[in-house]
Structure 1
């Protein structure tokens, strides 16, 4: 059986920023007053330690580029523009043991949300590179679909440049282009390699995205189970063949309501290392066809083709 071995870091870093034109000089004091809800005690206990550090940064002294922060969905574009145009930023950094995830990242993001509410600023995740839209509250239960993965569709049909045929109208359209490349941006903060799928035809972009989402959730579930055993080494070996089920798809969305997936379920994919920190996703080793044949055919459950946003209840604002 083919396997993949990758290094697991002892610690990981999560970074968030809040953009505004008026960051108060006493950020810790502001956060202590603004923090509320289930993460208040965690914030108070970690504030000032490497697990929760606050810095006040001006646009002239930044070591990162606000221009690289984007909107994950079209409705977030005004917030992304406001973030890039801001003159001051509150940066929240959490440097924590891998065994403290996902709590460490959740506490740091809850702090970012609290500062954003107090200042009227725009929060962003510097790991995913996306602004964080309302309701700007952190769910106590970890849900990967809550903007942790950097999962977003590319511009439709390569911003109109792609003229490949629609597979529903012309079978040649199944492999009519290879415009789409999707990559996660967020698994590394949990000690996992990122995932990538490439050479996808435009009509199959949502199916490919949901394959990445489901695979990421399964890998994360298995990863936390492995960490719970207290492994002595810092390398982890996993099978290259990954079997995914209805539960993995539901767990990504964080819903106990059954997300309708028609058979076949489970389904399998193949992982391969591109670098130590990036795995590629491909059809099963015994699949006879292209990645687009796999995405378009009857191998994947139908729910992969039409679910874009979470069916779970959104977190409520604090």
Structure 2
């Protein structure tokens, strides 16, 4: 294997395993094979055939155990990863667990995960129960588990297999992935992410996971499993990577790629996980958070950070009026916490300049009084040297000309002025 400064050798495990549980009160009603046969016609190939074949092979085991024989699942962690009170209640009332385990070589397809999840979903459906993904510590209802499996064209949404939890520390937010080890790859992490990029950076991490997973599985495509796979030290992430990871390839825009430097952070504790860290590329000046903010501005380019015009034309005037008419409502939804999940509210406002106002975007962090909001700038302003990416800004509501809700795929609501610009109707001077 050739080792260069351009690639990072990542060790490949000899085999991978998947474990799923089906809690139930009493014993199973049907055999696993019968449960899987009931999915015929509903589960795309090759997954249905794969599950059937692995059930007949030593690569998969399905055991029914008394729940007392299995280590207790932590309800607090299950709740943190989305378990409902009803699901936790069914787990507490269960007397038995059906344990589905599968093993397979690293590479694509991940037969151990697809087959084990399919069998567990079939068994859970037969008793109107739940699936517990032990790796992700997640409850899945059978329908959601089946939807996460490949469609007729072999496509999956990576967000159904990889989570992106985060926590806060003195340097900002610490993001990690949880799910890449299913495929043999080390988990990713990013440290020092600005607080206002919570949702946006989660989407970037998911897109980066998609890109690196593709490189990883390409390196495992041969007949023999290699000892190492070389990943590029400078990884690229695009809006297309993010859109595909979320299952919306048709929504991606032609965004410029963003460079991220990959570093191996081996664990010092043998019981802990090693990580692949995502950092700014070499030579980037300033704190990492500034680069991460600029990366988000590039990837979510449906909202342009720096727009100028002198006198708005009719289309732009209507767009501004529409946006301003909805300010009270969007503020109320922001304060009530009823915005769509994984979305971020941003506003566009004007800064005075010699050539007319400069309009920039900022992510809203608080909006206690109607007349004024606090946010974090999404760009560097040309007219005001104090307005820099990630810097805190106080915006008068009277200066706001537009607002938008963003998620991992771009604008999901609002953005009227940007729509006018994207439609090729620039305001008249």
Q: TM-score, normalised by structure 1?
A: 0.78
Deviates more, 1:195-204 or 1:11-20: 195-204
Q: What is the distance in 2 between the residues matched to 1:301 and 1:100?
A: 28
Q: What is the distance in 1 between the residues matched to 2:301 and 2:116?
A: 33
What residue in structure 2 maps to residue 278 of structure 1? 275
What residue in structure 1 maps to residue 407 of structure 2? 307
SS in structure 1 opposite 2:229?
A: strand
Q: What is the distance in 1 between the residues matched to 2:189 and 2:407?
A: 19
Find out whether 1:266 has 2:274 as its counterpart: no
Q: What is the distance in 2 between the residues matched to 1:302 and 1:291?
A: 18
Q: Deviations over 1:166-220 (max 9, x none)?
A: xxxxxxxxxxx64532221211121211111223333211122112111110111
Q: Deviations over 1:55-108 (max 9, x none)?
A: 21222111463536525765x523552364242221211101113532331121
Q: TM-score, normalised by structure 2?
A: 0.59
Q: What is the distance in 2 between the residues matched to 1:244 and 1:40?
A: 33
From 120, 123, 146, the equivalent of 1:115 is 123
Q: What is the distance in 2 between the residues matched to 1:145 and 1:117?
A: 23
Q: What is the distance in 2 between the residues matched to 1:309 and 1:129?
A: 26
SS in structure 1 opposite 2:132?
A: strand
From 193, 198, 219, the equivalent of 2:191 is 198
SS in structure 1 opposite 2:189?
A: strand
CA contact (8 A) 2:36 2:119 kept: no
SS in structure 1 opposite 2:26?
A: coil
Q: Deviations over 1:19-38 (max 9, x none)?
A: 22233276435534544333
SS in structure 1 opposite 2:160?
A: coil
CA contact (8 A) 2:117 2:145 kept: no
CA contact (8 A) 1:71 1:80 kept: no
CA contact (8 A) 2:239 2:299 kept: no
CA contact (8 A) 1:28 1:54 kept: yes
CA contact (8 A) 2:135 2:179 kept: yes
Show the 5 A alignment for 1:239-250: 239-250=232-243
Show the 5 A alignment for 1:1-318: 1-24=5-28, 27-36=31-40, 37=42, 38=44, 39-63=47-71, 65-67=73-75, 70-71=78-79, 76-78=83-85, 80-82=87-89, 84-87=91-94, 88-99=96-107, 101-133=109-141, 134-137=143-146, 138-140=149-151, 141-152=154-165, 178-230=171-223, 233-260=226-253, 263=255, 265-275=256-266, 277-297=274-294, 300-302=298-300, 306-308=406-408
Q: Deviations over 1:117-150 (max 9, x none)?
A: 1111111211112112443423332424352112
What residue in structure 2 maps to residue 170 of structure 1? none
Q: What is the distance in 2 between the residues matched to 1:310 and 1:115?
A: 38
SS in structure 1 opposite 2:35?
A: helix
Q: What is the distance in 1 between the residues matched to 2:247 and 2:36?
A: 30
* Structure 1 runs of 4+ with >4 Å offset: 71-74, 308-311
CA contact (8 A) 2:32 2:122 kept: no
Q: Tell me: higher relative CO, structure 1 or 2? Use CA pairs within 8 A at least 6 residues apart.
A: 1
Pairwise CA distance, 1:53: 1.5
Bigger-Rg structure (1/2): 2
Residue correspondences, number: 288
Q: Structure 1 unaligned runs (5+)? A: 163-176, 312-318
Q: Structure 2 unaligned runs (5+)? A: 268-273, 303-343, 345-405, 412-429
Residues 149, 13 of structure 1: CA spacing in aligned structure 2 closer, same or farther, 3 A cutoff? Answer: same
CA contact (8 A) 1:72 1:150 kept: no
Q: What is the distance in 2 between the residues matched to 1:303 and 1:125?
A: 35
CA contact (8 A) 1:204 1:292 kept: no
CA contact (8 A) 1:2 1:239 kept: yes
CA contact (8 A) 1:48 1:54 kept: no
Greater share of strand residues, 1 or 2?
Answer: 2
What residue in structure 1 maps to residue 383 of structure 2? none
Residues 26, 66 of structure 1: CA spacing in aligned structure 2 closer, same or farther, 3 A cutoff? Answer: farther
